[in-house]
Amino acid sequence: MRLETELFGATFQNPVLLSSGTCGFGRELAEVVDLELLGGFVTKSVTVEPREGNPAPRVAEFGAGMLNSVGLANPGLTVMRREKLPWIRDHVRRPRVFVSVAGREVDDYRTLVEAMDGYDGFLGFELNLSCPNVSVPGGRPFALDPDAVRAVVERCRARTQRPLLAKLAPNDPTLETTVRIATEAGADGLTLVNTLPGILLKGEGVPELGAGQGGMSGPALRPTGLLAVRRARAATHLPLVGVGGVTHALDAVAYARAGASLVQVGTASFADPRAGTRIVKGLRRWGARRGVEAWRDLVAPAPLEAGTGSITKNDPVTDGA
């Protein structure tokens, strides 16, 4: 099965990326994983100022996944520009890299995009609008506030020609509206989904995580991620990136069937750092057994009437099966 995928004006050698927050800035994983075999990766979310993150413990496992409250710990924009981006430029060849950005204010996103746009070595930005673990003014993640989604995407759009992915939330009762707003505001693709808010309690009723609640990920998130991709597929022409519980090659196939052109592997990499490359190999084997010629033949296209965005060359409607 041919895994190459043309999207956002670039070639992805395969559709498997590592998700934000699970691979640092690439370097952290390079010693244990051959990054060059991946379709790409998304960096840990970067904020303007460095952030210490939330109190330990920051992660806890449960039977069907894990809960995290890292709290956006990251080295900030200055170190990103001085160390992280140059490392990526000098060491990453084939994988397509997205830089994830996050902020407390709408304008933080614009500042970050503008400040990194001139650097080499990465393809685009993933706007993290959906971190469940840090408080923002208004108390809900930007992804659950339509005005904030529009403002962030529009302001970033005005500052860069690079591909912009908007990363949305799993607990959005009006997902179709959010998807349409992000489309109209100028996103090039959507990443669905971030982690789902949850809490784990010990016998005494004390939360397992230092911060109390966190974001749930892993296999238990897969049905939610698949549903979100399917709903989004009906509401926009934009390419979709599916994330949530991708553990085996068949999970990636399911996301394609729901409408995702790319998938991201997250929690599975914690148990097995080679999960991403294992899934790439598994997809090739699965395709060969099934006689499927190309990954893009699996990707459910957008319905003809979907969304408000214009149809582009890389749109699944024209470029897909």
Q: Which residues are catalytic?
A: 131
Cα 240 to Cα 258: distance, rounded to the nearest angstrom: 10
Q: Are 75 and 82 in contact (CB under 8 A)?
A: no
User: Near ligand RRO by CB under 6 A, which window of 83-91, 126-134, 239-247, 285-293?
Assistant: 126-134
Stretch that binds ligand RRO, among 26-34, 105-113, 129-137, 233-241 (CB under 6 A): 129-137
CB of 282 to ligand RRO, least distance (A): 25
Q: Does 69 bind ligand RRO (CB under 6 A)?
A: yes
Residues 1-40 that bind ligand RRO (CB under 6 A): 21
Enclosing H/E stretch for 8: none
Which 92-111 positions form the footprint of ligand RRO (CB under 6 A)? 102
Q: How far apart are the first and last CA of the chain?
A: 14
| 71 contacts ligand RRO (rule: CB under 6 A) | yes
Tell me the helix, strand and coil percentages in the chain, rounded to 5. Answer: 35, 20, 45
Give the HSE-up count for residue 159: Cα atoms under 13 Å, Cβ half-sphere. 21
Quickly list H helices, 32-161. Answer: 76-79, 85-91, 106-116, 146-157
SS3 state of residue 120? coil
By CB under 6 A, name the one of 191, 195, 224, 247 that touches ligand RRO.
195
State the nearest-atom distance from the C-beta of 281 to ligand RRO, in Å: 27
Position 133 contacts ligand RRO (CB under 6 A): yes
The residue among 104, 84, 88 whose CA lies nearest residue 96 is 88
Determine which residue in the list 163, 215, 218, 282 makes contact with ligand RRO, applying CB under 6 A: 215
* Least Cβ distance, residue 71 to ligand RRO (angstroms): 5
User: What 8-state DSSP symbol labels residue 83?
Assistant: I
Q: Which residues bind ligand RRO (CB under 6 A)?
A: 21, 45, 68-72, 102, 128, 131-133, 194-195, 215
